[in-house]
Amino acid sequence: MMNMSSRLKIVIPLVAVAIIGGALFLLKDRIAGPLSNGQGQNSNQPPSGSQGQPTIVRSVSISYPRGWVAESLTSADKLAGLIVKAHRENPTASFSARSIVGELEANINVAAAADQVVESLTKEIENFTLVSNKTLNTKSYRTIQIRYKQQSSRDQTVTENLLTILLTRNQTFYLSLRSAEADYRAIESETQQLILNFATYLNSQGLQ
């Protein structure tokens, strides 16, 4: 079992963010920023949502299943676009959400975009094994959900990961959960509850 010092960290590969940014967005110069190589902006930007500006969610308040603990975000976290971090112990798992801002193409082919993300992850993540790749709706939001395993070259441990991408008109959210492979089934229902709670909050803020 993993201890606190080796707590599983969520890292959504920046290349995946860049790929999905290129596949999903028609971005304007006014929202250009560093997160996706000049193609998008992270969530740590000036407020919007008034005077005709689109509503942008910059922080999230959700309820967590029993055993999950929300973590404080550092300045570096916020600069990288992280808006949520949480973890649990026994079994150990971690959850995070990252946001980038950009206008979604009206005719985006979500299934094709999902395949592009999988291709990117396959190239960039060492010992990547795809478990599933699907598109669905979560609280009316078009969603990409990619489940994969990764074996560590250092100690041969295997982690199971679920990357969920929620698409809204002007903002995209990357929800990532990681646990040891042996523990994934034990927390699978909690994972889906976290995703649903997150989408419910977005819905309450009027995101479309």
pLDDT for 17 equals: 52
> Which of 152, 173, 6, 149 is CA-nearest to residue 87?
6
- Whether residue 24 is predicted with pLDDT greater than 80 in this model: the reply is no
Tell me the pLDDT tens digit for each residue of 130-139: 999 999 999 9
pLDDT for 104 equals: 81
Tell me the pLDDT tens digit for each residue of 171-192: 899 999 999 999 999 999 999 9
Number of domains in the chain: 1
The residue range of the domain holding 185 is 4-204
Place of tokens 């969610």: 57
Tell me the pLDDT tens digit for each residue of 68-91: 999 999 998 888 888 999 999 999
Residue 67 sits in a domain of what CATH number?
Answer: 3.40.1000.10
Q: Between 41 and 51, whose confidence is greater?
A: 51
Q: Which residues of 80-93 are buried (b: 16+ CB within 10 A; e: fewer)?
A: bbbbbbbbbeebbb
Give the chain's end-to-end CA distance (angstroms, integer).
41
| Structure-derived torsion over alpha carbons of residues 113, 116, 121, 123, reported in degrees to the nearest 10 | -170
Residue 51's pLDDT band (cuts 50, 70, 90):
low
Residues 6 or more apart whose Cβ sits within 8 Å of residue 126? 150, 153
Q: How large a percentage of the chain has pLDDT more than 70?
A: 75
Reported residue count of the chain is 208
- Counting Cβ atoms within 10 Å, is residue 3 exposed (0-12), middle (13-18) or buried (19+)? exposed
> pTM to 2 decimals?
0.78
Cα-based angle 205, 208, 45 (whole degrees, multiple of 5): 60
pLDDT for 39 equals: 36
Structural contact between residues 197 and 103, judged by C-beta atoms closer than 8 angstroms: no
